A and B are shown apart, each in its own frame.
Chain A
Amino acid sequence: MKDLEEIKKYLKEYDGPEMNIMEVCGSHTEAVAKNGIPGMLSKKIHLLSGPGCPVCVTPSAYIDKLISLSEDEKNVIVTFGDLLRVPGSELSLNDVKGMGRRVEMVYSPLDIITLSKKEPERTFIFAAVGFETTTPVYALLLEKLIREGVRNVKLLTALKTMPEVIAYLMDNDAPIDAFLAPGHVSTVTGYGIFKPLATRYGIPFGVAGFKGEELLIALYGIVKNRGNGVVKNYYPSVVTEKGNEKAEEVIDRYFIKTDAVWRGMGNVPHSGRMIRDEFKDFDAGSEGLTEDKKKNKACSCDKVLMGKMKPADCPLYGKVCNPLNPQGACMVSQEGSCFSYYVNKRTD
């Protein structure tokens, strides 16, 4: 049996070929920094933060649409919070909240139902952003709205899926030798979803938890499997090969796969989901939100999200772009690569 000290020693003293390992989960980006993982690795192991923060990859047109919906005083925009500071082409939801428009933050879909029942004369528009982890939550919300006859809640969706964007990165020359695969996305999808990708690109995927020990174990396993097209599950307490099949069922009942625009990266075929036609009454106008304007033309979020540039190498980073004055989405969310590098003073 290995122990943690042996694993730490191996990762610090690793002297094999250079290895770029990308995490595609914003919560991993945050956990990696909080646990000081970069400083525990050999200079030959590089961690790259990919497009794993759903808020960061939501295009400007989506924010602009929410802002335009907030102009109608009968509408209330409801969001989980991460989205408030994300800039649209000009303004953020926080800006329009400051102008007196109704923007509410919630922690659970149950809160929206409570809000909507208190004010039946208003329409509550839920900013439904997220990956596979959060999509079943929106599906359950739709189910509950239908069952309880609530008709004054609508969703504006920007839902994304992981396998397609991973393939997009690999097909567009992202310099990646392995993936630290997302733990909670895998709770829903199962780790089996990464097997075709591991085989196609001949690189290892390691599904990881979020504690320091779990991350180190996964990184050790990934480095040991360099060059092998395998998927390993280092988060077995909640991740199985098939995932949560009930969640997949409920997602399929209400949503259909579509193309999706990722901020800075453009259209990625089949990487999104939208509400099915039969439930379109609950859609606040999610189709066609493809425009993606940069607030600052020199912003390098696109290169950062694809692992082609480290945050600190962006010409704006730490100068005109910082958490108080973000120029791009990667500096906005706590899970954004640039935000995480900035607040944790990462230089790797």
Chain B
Amino acid sequence: MCVALPGIVEEINEDTAVVSFSGNKVNALTGLIPVKVGDRVLVHAGCIMQVISQTEAEEIEMLFNELSEAAG
């Protein structure tokens, strides 16, 4: 039930934003985090939960580096 999907903010209205999921556009509530057009965001149950700070590739690279340093 805690599933959340990444999308791109395309338009901002009063307390909602239009978020595109590979072209499918959905209205989502914005009250939990400030967003701007172009942000990659995580949406859960019709609500923007977080702005995604790194691309997937950047995150994986960072984790591999951290594991090498921390866990050997």
A interface with B by C-beta (< 8 Å): 1-3, 7, 25-27, 53-55, 80, 82, 107-111, 129-131, 133-134, 136-137, 140, 143-144, 182-185, 187-188, 209-211, 213-214, 217, 220-221, 224-225, 232, 234-238, 244, 246-247, 250, 333, 335
- Are the CB atoms of B53 and A27 closer together than 8 Å? no
Q: Which of B32, B52, B55, B64 has the most CB of A within 10 A?
A: B32
Q: Which of B2, B49, B61, B71 has the most CB of A within 10 A?
A: B2
B56 CB → nearest A CB, Å? 7
B interface with A by C-beta (< 8 Å): 1-4, 15-16, 26-29, 31-33, 42, 44-47, 49-50, 52-56, 58-65, 67-68, 70-72
- Are the CB atoms of B2 and A26 closer together than 8 Å? yes
Return the chain B residue nearest A209 by Cβ. Answer: B59
Bound-state CA distance A246–B35 (Å) is 13
Bound-state CA distance A80–B65 (Å) is 39
Known: A108-B28, A209-B59. 16 other contacts (CB 8 A): A1-B65, A3-B64, A54-B2, A80-B45, A108-B27, A133-B2, A140-B29, A187-B42, A187-B49, A210-B3, A214-B60, A232-B70, A234-B63, A237-B52, A238-B53, A247-B32
Bound-state CA distance A224–B57 (Å) is 23
What A residues does B72 contact at CB under 8 A?
224
- Are the CB atoms of B32 and A244 closer together than 8 Å? yes
- Are the CB atoms of A237 and B56 closer together than 8 Å? yes
B6 CB → nearest A CB, Å? 9
What B residues does A131 contact at CB under 8 A?
1-2
A330 CB → nearest B CB, Å? 14
Closest A-B pairs by Cβ, 7 of them: A108-B46, A224-B71, A133-B2, A184-B2, A237-B54, A137-B47, A238-B50
- Choose from B4, B46, B52, B54 the contact partner of A133 (Cβ within 8 Å): B4
A238 CB → nearest B CB, Å? 5
- Are the CB atoms of A2 and B68 closer together than 8 Å? yes
A11 CB → nearest B CB, Å? 12
Bound-state CA distance A235–B1 (Å) is 18
Bound-state CA distance A214–B57 (Å) is 11
B44 CB → nearest A CB, Å? 6
Question: Can you identify 30 A-B contacts, CB atoms within 8 angstroms?
Answer: A1-B65, A2-B64, A25-B2, A26-B1, A54-B2, A107-B45, A108-B28, A108-B29, A108-B47, A110-B46, A129-B1, A130-B1, A133-B1, A133-B45, A137-B29, A140-B31, A140-B47, A144-B29, A184-B2, A184-B3, A184-B49, A213-B60, A217-B64, A220-B67, A237-B52, A237-B56, A237-B59, A244-B33, A244-B50, A247-B33
A150 CB → nearest B CB, Å? 14
